[in-house]
């Protein structure tokens, strides 16, 4: 439950931050004409808050990585909560939904999963060609 909530929070966090900063920019732009000191405070506050925003995002993804590794050790997929987990040489793979995870708990992106699948099929194609 916590892992599922954390996963969705981590997926939404960059967009929340982006729209928060865009809102601050629009507000600062409006303040330029009406209250210039407010625009200055907003810009300085936004720049100074960036370190905390990045730190909070890293902390969230770190906690998600810990919980993901714990779920993978229990042979439970963090993405679909079912399926046996197969441990490959480079990553964990859920046999139920096909999701792949690095050993640090991060889920492989769609491009990385595609590259892994094409590597595997390329290897088998080479084996077929040799035979
Ligand atoms: Zn799965």
CA of 55 to the centre of ligand 1 (A): 29
What is the mean pLDDT, run by run of 10 residues, along the chain of 131 residues? 90 96 95 93 94 96 92 90 85 89 86 75 49 46
| Residues 85 and 94 sit within 8 Å (Cβ to Cβ) | yes
pLDDT at residue 69, as a whole number: 92
CA of 77 to the centre of ligand 1 (A): 5
CA of 10 to the centre of ligand 1 (A): 18
Contacts of 7 (CB under 8 A, 6+ apart): 64, 78, 79
| Chain mean position to CA 111 | 14
CA of 23 to the centre of ligand 1 (A): 37
| Chain mean position to CA 80 | 16
Place of tokens 């009406």: 34
- DSSP letter at 107 equals B
User: What is the β-pairing status of strands 100-101 and 85-87?
Assistant: unpaired
């Amino acid at each position: 439950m916590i892992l599922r909530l954390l996963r969705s929070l981590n997926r939404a966090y960059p967009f929340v931050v982006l729209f928060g900063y865009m809102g601050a920019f629009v507000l600062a732009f409006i303040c330029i004409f009406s209250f210039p000191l407010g625009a200055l405070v907003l810009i300085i506050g936004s720049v100074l808050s960036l370190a905390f925003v990045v730190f909070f995002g890293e902390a969230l993804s770190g906690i998600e990585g810990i919980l993901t590794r714990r779920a993978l050790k229990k042979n439970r997929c963090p993405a679909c909560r079912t399926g046996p987990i197969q441990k490959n040489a480079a990553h964990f793979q859920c046999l139920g939904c096909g999701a792949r995870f690095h050993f640090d708990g991060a889920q492989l992106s769609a491009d990385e999963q595609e590259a892994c699948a094409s590597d595997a099929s390329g290897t088998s194609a080479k084996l077929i060609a040799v035979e």
